[in-house]
Structure 1
Amino acid sequence: MGRRPTNQPPPCTYILASAPHGLLYIGSTRNLVARVWQHKNNVVPSHTRRHGIHTLVWYEPHHTLENAILLEKRLTTWSRARKIALIEGMNPEWDDLYRSLL
């Protein structure tokens, strides 16, 4: 595994929500801006498309995609209350963080 080129965005683990305290989706990606855009624009038939889960409420950058995937897998085992506490620790108002990435 080599270093990520400096012109590439960092891999991220992220959480989308349908509304504050609504349905949640946890994912990981090489390019957070592009992936969230896909979710918001219903590009791929998916759980997020069927349930309107489009708001980026939490994310964490990583040095490698492998680390992002490991955190994604760990977060999916957490209780809902723990996931909500994680979101509210970074984003107490449940704002859409996507705009801050542009």
Structure 2
Amino acid sequence: MKEYYVYILASRKDGVLYIGVTGDLLKRIYQHQQGAIEGFTKKYQVKKLVYFESCNNINVCLNREKQLKAWRRDWKVALIEANNPNWNDLSDGLYN
């Protein structure tokens, strides 16, 4: 069964946030970190994976992405800090 991910990137703790969806988390995060994707994340140096969740239905993930994007910033920060209080780059664990 295919797995999909909703993820949040940050430029730094309490910095710029970006929310996205992908079917290949490792590849997508690598693309963001290498600046291979033109646009918002490259312009604002948003490279640090601070939160992600998975599901097996793309429509569920897309709806969750829309939900998170509509949230107030303080709710997004609370979600990140409930799971990753130090805003560690979670991609470090994905590559090992």
TM-score interval, normalised by the smaller of the two chains? over 0.9
Say what the alpha-carbon RMSD is for the aligned residues: 0.8
Moved runs in structure 1, 4+ residues, more than 3 A?
none
**Among candidates 22, 32, 35, match of residue 29 of structure 1:** 22
Give the number of equivalent residue pairs: 95
Q: Output the CA distance in 1 between the equivalents of 2:36 and 2:83.
A: 28
Identical counterparts, % of pairs = 37
Is the helix fraction higher in 1 or 2? 2
Query: What is the aligned partner in structure 1 of residue 54 from structure 2?
Result: 61
Normalised TM-score (structure 2): 0.95
Looking at CA atoms only, which structure, 1 or 2, has the larger radius of gyration? 1
Query: What is the aligned partner in structure 1 of residue 74 from structure 2?
Result: 81
Structure 1 unmatched runs, 5+:
5-9
Query: What is the aligned partner in structure 2 of residue 7 from structure 1?
Result: none
Give 1:64 shift.
Answer: 1.4
